[in-house]
A and B are shown apart, each in its own frame.
Chain A
Amino acid sequence: MTVTEIILLIRDIASIALMATGLVFVLAGALGVLRLPDFFTRMHAAGVTDTLGAELIVFSLILQAGFTLLAAKLLLVGFILFLTSPTATHAVANAAHRAGEKPLLSRFHPKHPRDREGDA
């Protein structure tokens, strides 16, 4: 095994690790958007996806692309996502707040369906 092969292997492993972590964050964000109780809490779950998950996946792809012009383009896409996603989140939140959307402010802790059956 030559040195180049080892470097390529390390690059592939790092890329796979970054990709897997990013996918976990993206899927968790999507699940959170489905499961959380009200609009303002769902907004947080969407934030997980947009900040860290997207950046990790973009960095993983940059590792795959190597030191080329394509990597610079990917970096630009990541930068634009990094700039726009919090701005869009704030815009949605601000619009909802101004439109009089009331956030849920009490503790939300529903019992598991199995436990509820046990109570009844």
Chain B
Amino acid sequence: MIYGTGLAVVLAVIWWVLSGYDKTLLLSLGAASVVVTMLLAIRMRIIDRETVPFFRLATLIPFYTWLGGEIAKSNVAVLKAALKPEIDVTPRLVRVPVDAQSDLSRCIFANSITLTPGTVTVEVEEDAFLVHALTPDFTGADGFAEMNARADRATDGRRKSS
């Protein structure tokens, strides 16, 4: 129920931002479209913890600001590799082990690897990702482990104590 309310609020805000109307008739039409979208979503049974991640923003936003710093750092390295007068790259394909509590955590970890320039997730397997890296500098095991732990903490709010 709380996820449904959150989805409705976000839909209404997006409708208002995209249209910018303030007349009563048009606003009521917007409300009607939100209701129809909610009915469709309920009928499709897609409202649950995974699909409405707005309540985890408190932990997701610090994670993505940290990730922004990482992106900026490795972007400069890729920039140098692409602009050198003589191209000198040593591509690597490495298998990164994944320790994730949930599907969402795995998904965010894979997405973070792809977002960081210089490394791209090529294949998702049961307990590992196949990662292609531009140079061996990007494939430090510590960096991946740290990103995995942070992604896990960001999605679940805590590590399970089991």
Contact = CB atoms under 8 A, between A and B. Distances in A.
Interface of A: 24-25, 28-29, 31-32, 35-38, 40-41, 43-45, 47-48, 51-52, 69, 72-73, 76, 86-87, 89-90, 93-94, 97-98, 103-112
Given A28-B82, A112-B86, 7 more contacts: A47-B120, A103-B91, A103-B93, A107-B89, A108-B89, A109-B89, A110-B86
B88 A109 contact: yes
17 contacts: A29-B82, A31-B82, A35-B87, A40-B122, A41-B89, A44-B117, A47-B118, A48-B78, A48-B117, A51-B75, A52-B71, A72-B17, A76-B18, A90-B110, A98-B123, A106-B90, A111-B86
Interface of A is mostly: helix
Contact of A48 (B79, B87, B123): B79
A28 B79 contact: yes
Interface string B70-111: 011001001101110111111111000000000000000011
Contact of A41 (B85, B115, B134): B134
Interface of B is mostly: mixed
Contact of B118 (A28, A29, A44, A106): A44
A52 B75 contact: yes
Contacts of B132: 40, 43, 93, 103
Given A52-B72, A104-B91, A105-B92, A97 B123 contact: yes
Contacts of A32: 78, 81-83
A52 B117 contact: yes
Given A89-B120, A97-B130, A25 B79 contact: yes
Interface of B: 14, 17-18, 20, 71-72, 75, 78-79, 81-83, 85-93, 110-111, 114-115, 117-118, 120-124, 130, 132, 134
A103 B92 CA distance: 9
B133 to A, nearest CB: 8
